Structure 1
Amino acid sequence: MGTLQEHIKNYRTAPFDARFPNTNQTRNCYQNYLDFYRCQKALEVRGKDMSLCNWYQKVYKSLCPLSWVSRWDDQREAGTFAGKI
């Protein structure tokens, strides 16, 4: 079995997530977006390698429309993002 970094590198598409069993993956997209930034925030505070968070980023980038991600990024930068990170 490979390392976590190898799994992230070889990532192709979002795997099944039992938390989101329905065809509509909107919630899965949003949750992985939040998880990516929460992971980064948590590891940054501890001085840990934030590349471990890349899994969440790859998942949300494969599930979310680019327009949503762009809007959320703009909202985060402006301090108006509704999600709790």
Structure 2
Amino acid sequence: MAEDIKTKIKNYKTAPFDSHFRNQNQTGNCWQNYLDFHCCEKAMTAQGGDVSVCEWYRHVYKSLCPISWISTWDDCQAESTFPGKI
């Protein structure tokens, strides 16, 4: 399975269609992939697993989210004031 993920990441161009977020506003999709990446990373680190399987979420949120949002959210995480549940 990890090889499938690595192949997808290698061939990655932009975020694929997600039927949960059908409209043009992709704010929710951006937010959800940001949370999914950090939750996946946290879970895989706790289990001692391969964190590289979480990279798909990182690629998706980096293609959808404005850089200023990502840097703000990263700063909030560093300060333990992030509003999402990770």
Q: TM-score range by the shorter chain?
A: over 0.9
Q: Deviations over 1:37-78 (max 9, x none)?
A: 000011111100000000000000000000000000000000
RMSD of Structure 2 on Structure 1 (CA): 0.9
Residue in structure 1 matched with residue 32 of structure 2 by the alignment: 31
Q: Deviations over 1:4-62 (max 9, x none)?
A: 21111110000000110110000000000000000001111110000000000000000
Runs of 4+ in 1 over 2 A off after TM superposition: none
Unpaired runs of 5+ residues, structure 1, are: none
Unpaired runs of 5+ residues, structure 2, are: none
**Alignment TM-score, normalising by the size of structure 2:** 0.95
Question: How far, CA to CA, are the matches of 1:16 and 1:53 in structure 2?
Answer: 18
Aligned residue identity for 1:22? N
Question: How far, CA to CA, are the matches of 1:4 and 1:38 in structure 2?
Answer: 17
Residue in structure 1 matched with residue 71 of structure 2 by the alignment: 70
Aligned residue identity for 1:71? T
**Alignment TM-score, normalising by the size of structure 1:** 0.96
Equivalenced residue count is 84
Aligned residue identity for 1:16? F
Question: How far, CA to CA, are the matches of 2:9 and 2:67 in structure 1?
Answer: 21
Residue in structure 1 matched with residue 41 of structure 2 by the alignment: 40
Residue in structure 1 matched with residue 58 of structure 2 by the alignment: 57
Percent identity between the two aligned chains: 58
